[in-house]
Amino acid sequence: MKILYLLFLPLFLLANDLKEFIDLSLNNESYLQKQLQFSKSILEQESIQNAYLPSLHLGVSYLGSNKDRFIIEPQESLMSTLSLKFLLFDGGNREAKIASMQSLRQLAHLEKENMANYIALNASVLYFNYLSLESIIKSYKQKETTLQNQLKRLENFYQAGLASQSELESIRAKYELSSYELAQNELKLHELKNEIYNLSKTHFIPSFQNILQEPSVEKNKSYEIALMQEKLNLENLKIDSAKAELFPKIFLQNSFSFYDMNYNPKLPYELKTTSEDFLKEHGQSNRFFIAFEWKIFDFGANQKALEAQKYTSKITQLELEKTKRKVDIELDNLLQEIKISKIKIKALKASFNAANLAFEAIEKKYNAGLCSYVEYLNALELKYKSQSQLELAKNEYEITKVRYYFTAGVDIKTKVLE
């Protein structure tokens, strides 16, 4: 037993499963962009928050005058000023803007998570389509081999005069058509490989048949609803910002200045000594003031802007209600589709088993010359058609489960069974 395990261990280690493909697909630029946008939203939120903290400004100015001037006007002056500014009250606009940035950050986070699950959805669809098509190609190769063997047998019979030309050409035509269908499917597989590379930037080849957990009625955590809910929250915060424009703004400022003056007044020598007592060349000053600003009349512009924003909020609220109803209906339809898919798979399994048994019996009769080639070809076509239909039904079943989890906002990767 241990020897068998060691023999098959490399196969298990090399098995490319769905979880691995989802992880690789998250290197896609679309997801990386959402990650960067989320990081950007964090910095923007912090920037707005910090902008409302007290700010310190440094100002330096130099003034020189070489023409006629007043006695009290210096010929040269150098001044440095430090100003501390703070917005004391703005009607709630500060709080609304900070909350809006938090809402935008949450929106960016939801968009990032939704993109991750959307990429998992695309990865899962490609994964199951690839394995399904690979299985169909395998059956088409078996069909082609079967027809090729029959064609060789009939060519020998025809040369010996034991088979008709119409029978030979019918089998040949069926063989050529089967080769063409196989080539078409191989082209589709090649296109799928390119789509896998485009999504994951790797030449990933699915080689392990994963399935997803059977869905039950999941708690609706739809990202579509969550995003719309956050957009509504953002619109409501804009109402608060619009209301703030109806209130006054109060600012505080404290300025501390250093100055150095060179007056050099054009006075007689006797008066220069007296002027020096009044014209101080070096000094410092400290000024504190509070400012009050209120737009008391604007022809109702701010009030109309407020009413317009309320309408925008109501429109978003209606959109949210519509989205909730749409998602609930989609989830209900997908659950019903999953239920029908299981019935379909059961029916197609029975159909394939019957077609396979019928073909085996007819093939023996045909090789023994007890039935016509038309009956043989019909049985052959029915067998491989039912086999392809069964593979497609299994594929659709898994993809429908993936769509259900994506619509419900459930992390698809967590529902992949080993």
8 within domain boundaries: no
Q: Which domain range does residue 232 map to?
A: 16-53+96-244+325-417
Contacts of 387 (CB under 8 A, 6+ apart): 136, 139, 352, 355, 356
The C-alpha atoms of residue 146 and residue 313 are separated, in whole angstroms, by 67
pLDDT of residue 177: 95
89 within domain boundaries: no
In total, how many domains does the chain have?
A: 1
232 within domain boundaries: yes
Question: In CATH, what number is assigned to the domain containing residue 378?
Answer: 1.20.1600.10
Q: What is residue 213's DSSP assignment?
A: P
70 within domain boundaries: no
pTM: 0.86
105 within domain boundaries: yes
11 within domain boundaries: no
130 within domain boundaries: yes
Chunk the chain into consecutive blocks of 10 residues (it has 418) and report each block's average pLDDT, rounded to whole numbers.
44 67 95 96 94 89 69 72 89 93 97 97 97 95 94 90 89 94 97 96 90 84 96 96 92 86 58 55 82 88 94 97 96 96 97 96 91 92 95 96 96 92
pLDDT of residue 14: 44
For residue 133, how many C-alpha atoms fall within 13 Å in the half-sphere facing its CB? 21
**What DSSP element (H or E) covers 410?**
none
268 within domain boundaries: no
pLDDT of residue 13: 39
Number of alpha helices (DSSP H) and beta strands (DSSP E) in the chain: 9, 6
**Taking Cα atoms as reference points, which of 262, 274, 241 lies closest to residue 93?**
241
